[in-house]
Amino acid sequence: MNIQITDRAERFLQQKMGEKSSPVRLVFDSEGCGCGVNGIPALWILPELDEYDMSIHSNGVPFVINRIHAVYFEENLYLDSEEGYPSFRLSGDSQLYGKNIRLLDKRED
């Protein structure tokens, strides 16, 4: 799995992460969505990895994904953001996953 990050998205990620380097997990968040196949993509800044995480090749910030969530995403992904807008746009080669992908800092939980 690969994720291509634009310079703008990279700057926004770095700003949110601060000086402490942490991996970002791409998740298919189905909590509160009813059925397990209903969910939304999200990005979480992690305090640490878990045993089910696998690396996503990226051109910047380190990304991981839970092996179980990987089935919901294409092999090639693209992450972008807009200046002054607090979310991301995630797409693949054949679809748009969302234009309002939130970044949550799970280091504070």
Domains of the chain: 2-108 (2.60.300.12)
**Residue 46 vs residue 109, higher pLDDT:** 46
CA angle, corner 93, sides to 57 and 54, nearest 5? 25
Give residue 29's pLDDT: 73
Report which of residues 80 and 82 the model is more confident about: 80
pLDDT recorded at residue 106: 87
Say what the pLDDT of residue 36 is: 54
What integer is the mean pLDDT of 53-72?
94
Residues contacting 69, CB < 8 A, separation 6+ = 26, 27, 28
Query: Which residue type, as a one-letter code, is found at position 54?
Result: M
pLDDT digits (tens, 9 = 90+) for 3-62: 999 999 999 999 988 887 789 999 997 665 555 556 789 999 988 899 999 999 999 899
Range scoring the smallest mean pLDDT among 23-27, 34-38, 71-75, 99-103: 34-38
Q: Indicate the range of 40-44, 48-52, 75-79, 105-109 predicted with least confidence.
A: 105-109
